């Protein structure tokens, strides 16, 4: 089930909230666990046992780690079992075919690939769950003895499928003891509506343009249309992804949780370093906390720091999808992050306009790398972008999407939200929320294009 | 209790959101199930039956997918929500929805950007096979009708990579001619009359007017004298919303006018059953008004001319057609004593039987270009 669907809004949500608000405090986590398991199993009932196993393995491993605090080897064994299990599941479902295909290509074999659908949100919940076991192992947090509470964390439906990546330490206290109050719910409803609007009204609308370009075929588009297309994709992925995160944060609030922010106007960044402090913040934080720093971070000399960065960005790329283009996409960022670290960021600081142009240009390049998984196709697309063939095809699409593009560009900056904050007329603001909600429902009823971008993740 | 309500009133968005989702949830479940959407001209999904087997099924067949479709299709005030979206799209300056493009003068066009090469090749081969078999016994003619965007070029937004129907038709005709089939290039005719009402604005078909010009061209190619429209009594039916509207559901659609003419007829037999009249008059009052012509698409229809107007020479023509033929064939009643109409999609008899048991002075194969590019049933012409 995805948030941006009538099924979720008008079937799951009313039932889930009625149950959740009515049951006594003691049973709230149990109701959350059961509702979330239902949410998770809806699309792929066959994967229900996998989720149960994930909860059980991590629960038992953490108890083992706690119990054998004195026996180092045993403690380590429990830890490794949990990590191998989590990563193993992720690798099996997400990366098996990638390795088979590459092995086939390299050794001229013909091993058959597997017919697997990715369990919903596996990339996200794997990382979330690992944060728990790792933190218990490192002694940062105590093991959870109540399997219902831990289960509720692992499968919590708002953050299950597309982030933000909520660490166990972010919400462990709220899991045990949270007050649900109307002010927070009100805030959550508003946040959710904004997220819904981002996804349904902006991302879906502008994404149709990129799909159109793909359909025409990269070999047939003019240069202006190629640029228009990748601009549309860049806006789509931002509004899609941040829309999901915003909806998740809103739902979290309605349930009494405060999730970390995930996006902070990434497209106004003035360097790639800055961009990654604003884009999918919880993922970068996860890699910093659980990969970069354990590898030694920047404390072991320059050469080691660059190596660590390389590892982190290769992993970040690979996390986004089981394909070479995603690895190149990650390494593309590694190159520019390294260049900036080596001193280029000082230059960027001094040149305001240049820094924006530099970031936006690189991002358009990076999104091309991200959007096109076939490397030959990618080559064709770059050829089109830089061959400067002027056709007439872009005229129609520009006319059709101009208003949407302008709206999306403006909303990528803090301009409108800041103005909105300054307005002090309550009913006016609420009218805006109601309008966004009603329009979103209308677009969902006549959904000619409502993709789910994160099936790869 | 009062205190709680007071509290809630201080949080209006929670109240509105809660009432909306719970309200629609309840309303949805009380609302009667709609079988058919007139607006979208399609059957709506009903509540799927639950079984463990359907729960575990794959893809579209799975219970959860069907259930989600059912929720969407039976959503309260579905048509009104769709219209709200259409208005919002209009404000955003969008000129298309769901694959339908809005052109000038309220004309709509379908995005038809690529052909199914395999299908097109196969269908050409099937018709060739028919030509090889029968072209020396009777005159076989073929007519592919271009979709409206070709002739109404000036009403189509610039810069769109539509399939070049004219060029593709030429290629296909080249092939057919090798099998002894006479081909009729009607594009110049349609183009010449492009300022007249020859295609519907909201539907993929040609109008009766458009069909008439093609009829004239066919008659002239066969040395028969076409009837003049001024000699016929015509009728008009307003408020026709066609297939392009069903897809785009644009709120500001200007409906079409359907016209039909009176012909004197003898016995009419459709799939073995005697039927009254050329038109299913009750259909003109319904949504699918084009379905009135020839009572819709049927396997084998045999029309006989009335005594007054028939040529009386015992002449007989066979028309193998898709739905474009339905408003075309009535005109032929003025030139042939019997008009046999075959729609291969629904034909139960074998073509070879029809051909051997009857003598036809003429055979006309008439297809809309897009149908010819997509119908697998064309293969039945060789059976």
Candidate from A11, A402, A404 with C-beta closest to B25: A11
- For residue B96, tell me if it sits in a domain: no
Which of B6, B8, B13 would best serve as a mutation to test chain A binding (most A beta carbons within 10 A)?
Answer: B13
User: From start to end of A142-194, where are the E strands?
Assistant: none
**B377 and B302 in a common domain:** yes
A 427-446 residues with CB below 8 A of B? 430, 433-434, 437-439, 441-446
- For residue B88, tell me if it sits in a domain: no
CB contact under 8 A, A13 and B71: no
The angle formed by the CA atoms of residues A369, A370 and A374, to the nearest 5 degrees, is: 70
A217 to each of A372, A381, A391, B97, B156, how far by Cα in Å?
12, 9, 14, 21, 22
Question: In this predicted complex, what is the ipTM?
Answer: 0.88
**B125 and B41 in a common domain:** no
The pLDDT, as a whole number, for residue A273 is 94
CB contact under 8 A, A439 and B56: no
Name the residue in chain A with its Cα closest to that of B15. A186
Rounded to the nearest angstrom, the minimum Cα separation between A390 and chain B is 12
For chain B, the 3-state helix, strand and coil shares in percent, each to the nearest 5, are 45, 20, 35
Instruction: Report d(CA B239, CA B286) in Å as an integer.
Output: 10
Please count the CA atoms within 13 angstroms of the CA of B117 that sit on its side-chain side: 0
Q: Is A22 an 8 Å CB contact of chain B?
A: no
The pLDDT, as a whole number, for residue A177 is 87
Grade residue A352 by pLDDT with cuts at 50, 70 and 90: very high
A403 vs B contacts (CB less than 8 Å): 92-93
CB contact under 8 A, B159 and A395: yes
- For residue B95, tell me if it sits in a domain: no
The pLDDT, as a whole number, for residue A455 is 55
**B113 and B67 in a common domain:** no
Grade residue A127 by pLDDT with cuts at 50, 70 and 90: very high
Instruction: Report d(CA A65, CA A70) in Å as an integer.
Output: 9
The pLDDT, as a whole number, for residue B123 is 95
Q: Is the four-CA dihedral B199, B201, B204, B208 of positive or negative sign?
A: negative
Q: Tokens standing for A148?
A: 């219902």
Is the pLDDT assigned to residue A114 strictly greater than 90? no
Name the residue in chain B with its Cα closest to that of A188. B14
Candidate from B82, B93, B98 with C-beta closest to A402: B93
Name the residue in chain A with its Cα closest to that of B69. A7
A216 vs B contacts (CB less than 8 Å): 113, 161
Q: Is A38 an 8 Å CB contact of chain B?
A: no
Alpha-carbon radius of gyration of chain B: 25
Q: Is A11 an 8 Å CB contact of chain B?
A: yes
- Contact status, residue A260 vs residue A429, Cβ threshold 8 Å: no
Grade residue A147 by pLDDT with cuts at 50, 70 and 90: very high
The last residue of one of the domains, among B26, B57, B76, is B76
Candidate from A13, A183, A443 with C-beta closest to B21: A13
- For residue B4, tell me if it sits in a domain: no
pLDDT in tens, A288-330: 999 999 998 888 888 999 999 999 999 999 999 888 999 999 9
Which of A47, A57, A52 is CA-nearest to residue A81? A57
B158 vs A contacts (CB less than 8 Å): 392, 395-396
Instruction: Report d(CA B206, CA B323) in Å as an integer.
Output: 10
Please count the CA atoms within 13 angstroms of the CA of B43 that sit on its side-chain side: 3
| Count of A-B CB contacts under 8 Å | 123
Grade residue A456 by pLDDT with cuts at 50, 70 and 90: low
The pLDDT, as a whole number, for residue A450 is 67
Q: Encode B171-182: b = buried (16+ Cβ within 10 Å), e = exposed.
A: ebbebbeebebb
**B138 and B72 in a common domain:** no
CB contact under 8 A, B71 and A6: yes
The pLDDT, as a whole number, for residue B320 is 95
Helix axes A122-137, A48-67, angle to 10 degrees: 10
- Asked if the bond preceding A431 is cis, omega within 30° of 0, the reply is no
Rounded to the nearest angstrom, the minimum Cα separation between A308 and chain B is 42
**B262 and B116 in a common domain:** yes
Domain assignment of residue B378, given as a range: 108-382
DSSP-derived letter for residue B203 is: S
User: From start to end of A155-199, where are the E strands?
Assistant: none
Instruction: Report d(CA B53, CA A249) in Å as an integer.
Output: 36
Rounded to the nearest angstrom, the minimum Cα separation between B237 and chain A is 29
Instruction: Report d(CA B88, CA B252) in Å as an integer.
Output: 12
The pLDDT, as a whole number, for residue A2 is 85
CB contact under 8 A, A439 and B85: yes
The owner of tokens 């009643």 is B333
Is the pLDDT assigned to residue A449 strictly greater than 80? no
Report helix, strand or coil for B28.
helix
Is the pLDDT assigned to residue A355 strictly greater than 60? yes
Instruction: Report d(CA A34, CA A23) in Å as an integer.
Output: 13
Candidate from A401, A404, A441 with C-beta closest to B81: A441
Grade residue A198 by pLDDT with cuts at 50, 70 and 90: very high
Please count the CA atoms within 13 angstroms of the CA of A130 that sit on its side-chain side: 23
Is the pLDDT assigned to residue A457 strictly greater than 60? no
Is the pLDDT assigned to residue A243 strictly greater than 60? yes
Instruction: Report d(CA B173, CA B365) in Å as an integer.
Output: 12
Residues of A forming the active site: 320
DSSP assignment string, B82-134? HHHHHHHHHHTT--EETTEEE-GGG-EEE------HHHHHHHHHHHHHHHHHH
> What torsion do the CA atoms of A326, A330, A336, A337 make, to the nearest 10 degrees?
160
- How many structural domains are present in chain B? 2
- Contact status, residue B209 vs residue B170, Cβ threshold 8 Å: no
Q: Tokens standing for B16?
A: 């509105």
Tell me the pLDDT of chain B (383 aa) as tens digits: 778 788 888 889 999 999 999 999 999 888 888 888 888 888 888 888 888 887 877 777 788 888 888 888 889 888 899 999 999 989 998 888 888 999 999 999 999 988 999 999 999 999 999 999 999 999 999 999 999 999 999 999 888 889 999 999 999 999 999 999 999 999 999 999 999 999 999 999 999 999 999 999 999 999 999 999 999 999 999 999 999 998 888 989 999 999 999 998 888 999 999 998 999 999 999 888 999 999 999 999 999 998 887 888 889 999 999 999 999 999 999 999 999 999 999 999 999 999 999 999 999 999 999 999 999 999 999 98
**B164 and B256 in a common domain:** yes
Region A231-250: mean pLDDT is 95
Give the burial class of B200: count Cβ atoms within 10 A of its Cβ; 0-12 exposed, 13-18 middle, 19 or more buried. Answer: buried
The pLDDT, as a whole number, for residue B10 is 85
pLDDT in tens, A405-446: 999 999 999 999 999 989 888 889 999 999 999 999 999 998
Q: Tokens standing for B153?
A: 């070029």
DSSP-derived letter for residue B235 is: E
B17 vs A contacts (CB less than 8 Å): 189, 192-193, 437
B97 vs A contacts (CB less than 8 Å): 446, 448
pLDDT in tens, A71-109: 889 999 999 999 999 999 999 999 988 888 888 888 887
The last residue of one of the domains, among B36, B57, B76, is B76
Rounded to the nearest angstrom, the minimum Cα separation between A129 and chain B is 27
The owner of tokens 């994967």 is A47
CB contact under 8 A, B24 and A10: yes
What are the residue boundaries of the structural domains of chain A, listed by start?
A: 6-177, 184-456
Helix axes B12-30, A426-445, angle to 10 degrees: 30
A6 vs B contacts (CB less than 8 Å): 68, 71-72, 75
Candidate from A189, A220, A404 with C-beta closest to B17: A189
Rounded to the nearest angstrom, the minimum Cα separation between B107 and chain A is 16
- Contact status, residue B306 vs residue B277, Cβ threshold 8 Å: no
Report helix, strand or coil for A123.
helix
Which of B10, B68, B79 would best serve as a mutation to test chain A binding (most A beta carbons within 10 A)?
Answer: B68
Which of A16, A398, A2 is CA-nearest to residue A200? A2
């Amino acid at each position: 089930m995805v948030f941006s669907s009538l099924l979720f809004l008008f079937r799951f949500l009313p039932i889930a909230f009625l149950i959740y608000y009515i049951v006594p405090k003691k049973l709230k986590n149990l109701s959350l666990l059961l509702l979330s398991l239902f949410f998770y199993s809806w699309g792929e009932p066959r994967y229900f046992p996998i989720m149960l196993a994930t909860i059980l393995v991590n629960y038992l491993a953490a108890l083992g780690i706690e119990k054998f605090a004195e026996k180092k080897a045993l403690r380590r064994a429990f830890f490794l079992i949990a990590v191998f299990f989590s990563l193993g599941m992720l690798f099996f479902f997400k990366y098996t075919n990638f390795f088979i295909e590459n092995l086939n290509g390299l050794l001229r074999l013909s091993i058959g690939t597997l017919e697997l659908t990715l369990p919903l949100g596996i990339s996200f919940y794997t990382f979330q769950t690992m944060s728990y076991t790792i933190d218990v192992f490192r002694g940062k947090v105590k093991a959870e003895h109540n399997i219902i509470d831990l289960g509720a964390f692992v499968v919590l439906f708002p953050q299950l499928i597309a982030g933000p990546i909520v660490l166990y330490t972010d919400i462990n206290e709220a899991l045990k003891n949270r007050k649900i109050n109307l002010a927070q719910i009100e805030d959550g409803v508003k946040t959710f509506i904004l997220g819904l609007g981002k996804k349904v009204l902006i991302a879906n609308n502008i994404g149709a343009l990129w799909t159109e370009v793909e359909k025409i075929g990269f070999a047939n588009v003019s240069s202006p249309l190629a640029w228009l297309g990748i601009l549309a994709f860049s806006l789509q992925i931002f509004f899609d992804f941040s829309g999901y995160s915003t909806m998740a944060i809103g739902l979290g609030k309605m349930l009494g949780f405060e999730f970390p922010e995930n996006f902070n106007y990434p497209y106004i960044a003035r360097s790639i370093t800055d961009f990654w402090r604003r884009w999918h913040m919880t993922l970068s934080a996860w890699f910093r906390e659980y990969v970069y720093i354990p590898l030694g971070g920047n404390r072991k000399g320059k050469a080691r720091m660059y190596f660590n960065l390389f590892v982190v960005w290769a992993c970040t790329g690979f996390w986004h999808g089981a394909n070479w283009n995603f690895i190149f996409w990650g390494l593309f960022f590694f190159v520019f992050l390294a260049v900036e670290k080596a001193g280029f960021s000082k230059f960027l600081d001094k040149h305001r306009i240049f820094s924006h142009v530099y970031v936006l240009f690189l991002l358009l390049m990076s999104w091309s790398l991200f959007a096109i998984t076939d490397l030959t196709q990618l080559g064709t697309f770059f050829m089109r972008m830089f061959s400067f063939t002027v056709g007439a095809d872009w005229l129609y699409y520009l006319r059709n999407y101009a208003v949407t593009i302008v709206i999306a560009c403006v909303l990528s900056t803090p301009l409108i939200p800041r103005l909105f904050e300054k307005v002090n007329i309550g009913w006016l603001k609420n009218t805006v929320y109601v309008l966004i909600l009603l329009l979103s429902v209308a677009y969902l009823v006549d959904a000619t294009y409502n993709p789910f971008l994160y099936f790869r993740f | 209790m009062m205190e709680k309500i007071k509290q809630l009133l201080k949080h209006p968005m929670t109240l509105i959101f809660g009432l909306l989702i719970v309200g629609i949830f309840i309303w949805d479940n009380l609302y009667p199930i709609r079988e058919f959407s007139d607006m979208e001209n399609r059957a709506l999904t009903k509540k799927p039956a639950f079984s463990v087997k359907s729960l575990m099924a794959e893809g579209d067949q799975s219970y959860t997918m069907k259930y989600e479709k059912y929720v969407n299709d039976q959503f309260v005030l579905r048509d009104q929500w769709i219209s709200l979206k259409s208005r919002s799209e209009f404000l955003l300056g969008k000129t298309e929805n769901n694959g339908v493009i809005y052109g000038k003068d309220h004309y709509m066009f379908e995005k038809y950007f690529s052909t199914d090469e395999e299908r097109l090749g196969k269908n050409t081969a099937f018709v060739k096979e028919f030509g090889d078999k029968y072209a020396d016994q009777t005159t076989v003619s073929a007519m592919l009708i271009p979709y409206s965007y070709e002739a109404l070029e000036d009403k189509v937004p610039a810069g769109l990579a539509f399939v070049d129907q004219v060029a593709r038709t030429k290629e296909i005709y080249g092939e057919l001619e090798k099998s002894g089939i006479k081909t009729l290039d009607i594009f110049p005719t349609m183009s010449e009359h492009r300022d007249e009402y020859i295609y519907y604005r909201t539907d993929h078909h040609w109008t009766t007017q458009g069909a008439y010009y093609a009829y004239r061209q066919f008659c002239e190619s066969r040395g028969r004298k076409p009837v003049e429209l001024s000699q016929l009594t015509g009728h008009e039916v307003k408020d026709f919303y066609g297939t392009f509207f069903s897809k785009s559901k644009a709120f500001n659609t200007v409906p079409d006018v359907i016209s039909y003419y009176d012909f004197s007829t003898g016995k009419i037999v459709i799939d073995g059953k005697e039927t009254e009249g050329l038109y299913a008059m009750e259909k003109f009052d319904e949504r699918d008004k084009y379905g009135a012509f020839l009572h819709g698409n049927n396997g084998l229809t045999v029309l006989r001319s009335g005594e007054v107007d028939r040529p009386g020479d015992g002449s007989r023509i066979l028309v193998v057609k898709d739905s474009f033929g339905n408003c075309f064939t009535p005109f032929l009643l003025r030139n042939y004593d019997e008009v046999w109409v075959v729609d291969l999609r629904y034909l139960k008899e074998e073509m070879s039987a029809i051909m051997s048991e009857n003598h036809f002075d003429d055979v006309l194969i008439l297809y809309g270009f897009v149908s010819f590019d997509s119908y697998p049933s064309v293969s039945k012409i060789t059976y």
